[in-house]
Amino acid sequence: MENIIAVAQKTRRAALKLAVLSTEAKNQAIEAIAQALESAKDEILQANLADCETSIAEGIAEPLYKRLKLDEHKLRDAIAGVRDVGKLADPVGTVQIHREIDTGLILKRLTCPLGVLGIIFEARPEAAIQIVSLAIKSGNGVILKGGKEAVRSCETIVKAIKQGLSQTAVNPDAVQLLTTREEILQLLKLDKYVDLIIPRGSNSFVRFVQDNTRIPVLGHADGVCHLYIDKAADLEKAVAITVDAKTNYPAACNAIETLLVHANIAPKVLPQISEALQHLKVELRGDERTRQILPNILEATEQDWETEYNALILSIKIVDSLEEAIAHINEYGSKHTDGIVSEDEEAAQTFLALVNAAGVYHNCSTRFADGFRYGFGAEVGISTQQMPPRGPVGLEGLVTYKYQMSGNGQIAATYTGANAKAFTHRDLL
Amino acid sequence: MENIIAVAQKTRRAALKLAVLSTEAKNQAIEAIAQALESAKDEILQANLADCETSIAEGIAEPLYKRLKLDEHKLRDAIAGVRDVGKLADPVGTVQIHREIDTGLILKRLTCPLGVLGIIFEARPEAAIQIVSLAIKSGNGVILKGGKEAVRSCETIVKAIKQGLSQTAVNPDAVQLLTTREEILQLLKLDKYVDLIIPRGSNSFVRFVQDNTRIPVLGHADGVCHLYIDKAADLEKAVAITVDAKTNYPAACNAIETLLVHANIAPKVLPQISEALQHLKVELRGDERTRQILPNILEATEQDWETEYNALILSIKIVDSLEEAIAHINEYGSKHTDGIVSEDEEAAQTFLALVNAAGVYHNCSTRFADGFRYGFGAEVGISTQQMPPRGPVGLEGLVTYKYQMSGNGQIAATYTGANAKAFTHRDLL
């Protein structure tokens, strides 16, 4: 524990200086990282090969192996991603409020870095590359903990990054790598030194992190997304959106798990959806009324309504009204992204207003819930919390703000009591 | 516990409808509250009298009694405050992002209510009045728990409020009052039904709340604010700001607890400050070097640097540089509000940039750190957390946002793979 505190303090000191660097200096550091990674390419791929061999010997699962494996193509993309981050607008220093409180007494609210980020990710080693570039761009120090399978890859990557930074205004201490599993729990205890934890991994892992730290956590445990097919739905759109939202990338958090269908349209739309999805090898599970229309599918239980399958499985429920659909979503959903298919504008507006989720969609696929697709240029996570930042979070999720007040000797006593002077409260922005 | 869950569910259902009311409907409800309180004036004052008598019999402390005691004047001000909230801009429905993702695929980010607020306050019964009006204005349901001394006052106030609401579009269930102490712990466990807890009370009480809930907490435990007198300080400003920041309202969280003084200016400024403050009965405590200049004051210990006195006590430390002052503040401060007095613009800018606090001030009193003084029209709390909302928080702290996406059948598959269509990402705002 002592050791990790020392690491965190070192990161914090370096971050304090990084926080006030100009956009230009940060971009130079980002370019230096890209170049250092290019120079260390062979070394990184070799380290990854060693990681892969060990993992195979230990019987790694196929999907995990795919994420661990780094080839020249993936690495080149990751380095291109670093340069893309360089091109993003600097999230630091934005003036959100600029107000005269009284003559000569000026208030500004300015964005500033959070401080130190703690990022815990799983097998994908190139995640380290993306995260470090986003941290530097937003002026934050970063403590990384990668999956144990990728330990050599991550060490080699971080070594190259630090070497690149050593020639820039950014102190290499701003980037740290933890390598042992025990250090995760220690990291989660560092609420004095770490300002935000971003866990990337399985639902159960994210929930573990949320339950074991006082540090704010950016992320989501579950993505139980819904699509509701209203009685006034266009059939073609309903089928196309259902297929896309379920099968375009079933392991994504913005894929749907449950389809709600209005009773009036169910007999027409469900057979079409069933045909399209079963053709794509999607397993369907339905409530009793659904199974009257689709008798060959499995029965959906209470458990199904709250399950994120992360797989080609879809639960289906028939509802008698828009209100019932909304109530089901607000009860079982995870506040991620939920959609309605309807040509009835009023029904759509009611749905968008009353469903409590970070994303509420009308006549389009839930799969659009993504920072890049929203045009943020980057995504640091998707939050399903009620408080902002919520939904897909771009660089703005890595900054906070502070209030700066400048005067020429003003004191509060002047503005209180019987002869209190009035504030002007004049916006200068 | 079952009972409080039923209360919370009832609040939530009412809040869901309140969330989508128009500004006009909410303002009508706020006016109805003001009128109902006016009608119930005698009843409220009588209930308060009973509370006061009980408290006196139980030996209530003088400051607490002062806060508990409601007179016609205080009540009239509180009702005027309700009407002021009616005049504030509606924080709900603000469009923060309006963007074309592709032709016909439109993304909006809109502010919306949080849902249900849990507010725990101490003796002051009129706090219930202000809080309910802010909750209604921001479209949130609210569960109140007042201090046990004020139980009859609060019951009478909430009864009047509910009676006022009964003639409006707002369901009176949106406002609930808990009356027993046991219910506080139960309330803190309702993370499924309550979206934000705002504790108003002592530092130890706020810390208790923070440590015993998974619900986000808006508030601050400590307000250890600093003033640093730089070597290039104007003496007159330094003395006036120190006196104001310490004595204008010593029990406020934005009053200073520690004065840092540059060694070069200390021999000149400290005797003046000492004279002014001792005249106002402020007890001074100094480090060794301060006591060489002010030999008659007490010694400050390590404990002093981290103590919020909430009283006429000030600790003083001499530092050799701006950097030392900043390091002291970042180590011992509570990230509330810290100021510098200096005519050196560069030193001031360094201080404002490097001190990590919600408020960083130059040549003015820390006492300005307040939602009303900032021009927010209301203050729901002051947050010392690193993440937004930070500092004094107005109505905007009671809302969140959601992303609304509307299309005409768009699916993600169109925008992926070899023939991927490009997004337009055109801002419409």
> Who contacts A68 (Cβ-Cβ below 8 Å, separation ≥6)?
A48, A51, A52, A55, A60, A123, A124, A125, A147, A149, A150, A153
A400 forms beta bridges with A112
The mean pLDDT of chain B is 96
Check residue B1 and give its pLDDT.
Answer: 62
Predicted pLDDT of residue B319: 98
What's the sign of the alpha-carbon dihedral A410, A412, A414, A415?
Answer: positive
Pairing, β A105-113 against β A399-410? antiparallel
Among A88, A372, A386, most B C-beta atoms within 10 A, so best to mutate, is A386
User: What is the β-pairing status of strands A391-393 and A381-383?
Assistant: antiparallel
For A184-220, b/e burial (b = at least 16 CB within 10 A) is bebbbbbeebbbbbbbbeebebbbbbbeebebbbbbb
Nearest CA in chain A to B350: A20
Encoded tokens for B427: 């801002």
Could you tell me which of B251, B225, B210 has the C-alpha nearest to residue B361? B225
B243, B284, B238, B246: which is closest to B264 by C-alpha?
Answer: B238
The whole-angstrom distance between A340's CA and the closest CA on chain B is 10
CA distance A176 to A6: 11
Distance, in angstroms, between A54 CA and closest chain B CA? 33
Q: What is the pLDDT of residue A201?
A: 82
- Across all residues in chain A, what is the average pLDDT? 96
Q: What's the pLDDT at A2?
A: 66
Structural domains in chain A, sorted by start: 2-211 (3.40.605.10), 225-368 (3.40.309.10)
Interval B86-110 mean pLDDT = 97
d(CA B27, CA B13) in angstroms, rounded, equals 20
Neighbours of A324 (CB within 10 A): 16
Contact B374 A402 (CB under 8 A): no
Which chain B residues touch A237 with a CB distance below 8 Å? 408-409
Kindly state the helix (H) or strand (E) to which residue A351 belongs, with its residue range: helix A345-354
Q: What is the 3-state secondary structure (H, E, C) of A300-344?
A: CCHHHHCCCCCCCEEEEEEECCHHHHHHHHHHHCCCCEEEEECCC
Cα pseudo-dihedral B365, B366, B370, B372, rounded to 10: 10
Q: Cβ of A407 and B99 within 8 Å?
A: no
Question: What's the pLDDT tens digit per position in A133-147?
Answer: 999 999 999 999 998
C-alpha distances out from residue B301 to B181, B224, B424, Å? 37, 15, 62
In chain B, which residues have their Cβ closer than 8 Å to the Cβ of A410? 363-365, 368
B316-358, pLDDT tens digit by residue?
999 999 999 999 999 999 999 999 999 999 999 999 999 999 9
Number of helices and strands (H, E) in chain A? Answer: 15, 17
Give SS3 for A348: helix
Give the separation between CA B36 and CA B17, rounded to whole angstroms: 22
Tell me the chain B residues in contact with residue A236 when contact means C-beta distances shorter than 8 Å: 409
Query: Does A363 contact B413 at a Cβ distance shorter than 8 Å?
Result: no
Say yes or no for a CB contact (<8 Å) between A364 and B411.
yes
Q: Taking CB atoms and an 8 Å limit, are A369 and B244 in contact across chains?
A: no
Measured from the Cβ of residue A275, the count of other Cβ atoms closer than 10 Å reads 11
Instruction: Name the residue among B387, B351, B240, B300 with its Cα closest to residue A408.
Output: B240
Contact B257, B374 (CB under 8 A): no
Cβ-Cβ contacts under 8 Å, A20 against chain B: 353-354
At CA A176, angle to CA A175 and CA A181, rounded to 5?
150
Two structure tokens written together for A139: 């002026």
pLDDT at A54 over 80: yes
DSSP B217: B
**Predicted confidence (pLDDT) at residue B153 exceeds the cutoff of 90:** yes
Alpha carbon separation from A172 to A144, A158, A190 (Å, rounded): 13, 10, 21
Q: What band does A220 get if pLDDT is binned at 50, 70 and 90?
A: confident
Q: pLDDT for B378-403, tens place per residue?
A: 899 999 999 999 999 999 999 999 99
* A163 pLDDT higher than 90: yes
Q: Residue B119 and residue B205: Cα distance in Å, rounded? A: 13
pLDDT at position A219 = 87
Q: How confident is the model at residue B41 (pLDDT cuts 50, 70, 90)?
A: very high
Alpha helices in A62-125 (DSSP H): 62-68, 72-87
| Rounded average pLDDT over B61-78 | 92
Of the candidates A354, A402, A413, the beta carbon closest to that of B244 is on A413
Q: What is the DSSP letter of A218?
A: -
What is the count of residue pairs from A and B with beta carbons less than 8 Å apart?
A: 216
Structure tokens at B34: 């003001």
Query: Nearest chain B Cα to A377, which residue?
Result: B425
State the pLDDT at residue A181: 85
- Cβ atoms of residues B104 and B407 within 8 Å: yes
- In percent, how much of chain A has pLDDT > 90? 91
Nearest Cα of chain B lies from the Cα of A12 at a distance, in angstroms, of 11
Distance (Å, rounded) from C-alpha A82 to C-alpha A32?
10
The chain B residue lying nearest A362, using CA atoms, is B406
CA B208/CA B210 separation, integer angstroms = 6
At B197, the pLDDT band (50, 70, 90 cuts) reads very high
Q: Cα dist. B410→A241, A367, B105, B109, B414 in Å? A: 7, 10, 7, 19, 8
pLDDT in tens, B159-188: 999 999 999 999 999 999 999 888 999 999
* Interval A79-134: pLDDT, tens: 999 999 999 999 999 999 999 999 999 999 999 999 999 999 888 899 999 999 99
The pLDDT confidence band at residue B2, using thresholds 50, 70 and 90, is low
Residue of chain B minimizing CA distance to A424: B375
Tally of CB atoms within 10 A around B333: 24
Confidence of residue B203 (pLDDT cuts 50, 70, 90): confident
Under 8 Å between Cβ of A353 and B406:
no
> Mind telling me how many Å the CA of B417 is from chain A's nearest CA?
11
Model pLDDT, residue B86? 97
Starting at the edge strand found earlier in the chain, the sheet holding B298-299 runs A426-427, A95-102, A105-113, A399-410, B359-364, B337-341, B225-229, B256-262, B313-319, B283-286, B298-299
Q: Please report which confidence band the pLDDT of residue A63 belongs to, taking 50, 70 and 90 as the band edges.
A: confident
